[in-house]
Amino acid sequence: MAADKKPAAKSAGAKKKKPGKKLSALYTIAGEKAVRKNKFCPKCGPGTFLGLHSNRVVCGKCHYAEFGKRM
């Protein structure tokens, strides 16, 4: 019976996984400390970065947004 099964077909609309952001892009090294480049979310607190976009910064967790020139 196992020989009668066909292999599962891939779906036509399968999405490719995007590569993640490298941690080296979020920090700089100053002496012996790692300094964070992006701001933290004021609602979520430390540990949740605001993502930089062309005209705003946005929290990916709570969707808090600051509009205006790039910060």
The pLDDT tens digits of the residues spanning 2-19 come to: 667 766 666 667 788 888
Q: Is 63 left (phi over 0), alpha (psi -120 to 50) or beta?
A: left
pTM for the predicted model, two decimal places? 0.55
- pLDDT value for 67: 93
- pLDDT value for 52: 87
Helix (H) or strand (E) segment spanning residue 52: strand 45-52
Expressed as residue numbers, the domain containing 52 is 38-71
Measured distance CA(26)–CA(51) in Å, rounded: 10
The answer to whether residue 5 is domain-embedded is: no
The answer to whether residue 8 is domain-embedded is: no
Measured distance CA(16)–CA(13) in Å, rounded: 10
- pLDDT value for 25: 80
- pLDDT value for 10: 64
Q: C-alpha angle with apex 40: 36 to 42, nearest 5 degrees?
A: 160
Q: Into how many domains does the chain fold?
A: 1
Question: Residues of the chain whose pLDDT is less than 70?
Answer: 1-3, 6-12, 69-71
